[in-house]
Amino acid sequence: MSDKVKEAIKTSYLSIAGNGVLAVVKFLAGFFGNSYALIADAIESTADVFSSILVLLGLRYAARPADDNHPYGHGRVEPLVTFGVVGFLIVSATVIAYESIENIRTPHEIPEPYTLIILAIIIIIKETFYRIVSKKSDETKSTSLKADAWHHRSDAITSLTAFIGITVALIMGDGYESADDWAALLASGFILFNAYLILRPALGEIMDEHMYDDLIEDIRKSAESVNGVLDTEKCFVRKTGMTFHVDLHINVDAQISVKEGHDIAHEVKDTLVAELPEIADVLIHVEPSH
Q: Say yes or no to pLDDT of 125 above 60.
A: yes
Report whether pLDDT(216) > 70.
yes
**pLDDT at residue 156 greater than cutoff 60:** yes
Helix, strand, coil in percent for the chain, rounding step 5: 70, 10, 20
Pick the more confident residue, 66 or 232: 232
pLDDT above 90: residue 66: no
pTM of the model: 0.67
Confidence label for 67 from pLDDT (cuts 50, 70 and 90): confident
pLDDT of residue 2: 65
User: 281, 246 in Cβ contact below 8 A?
Assistant: yes
C-alpha 157/C-alpha 150 separation (Å) is: 10
- Give the residue, 56 or 254, on which the prediction is more confident: 254
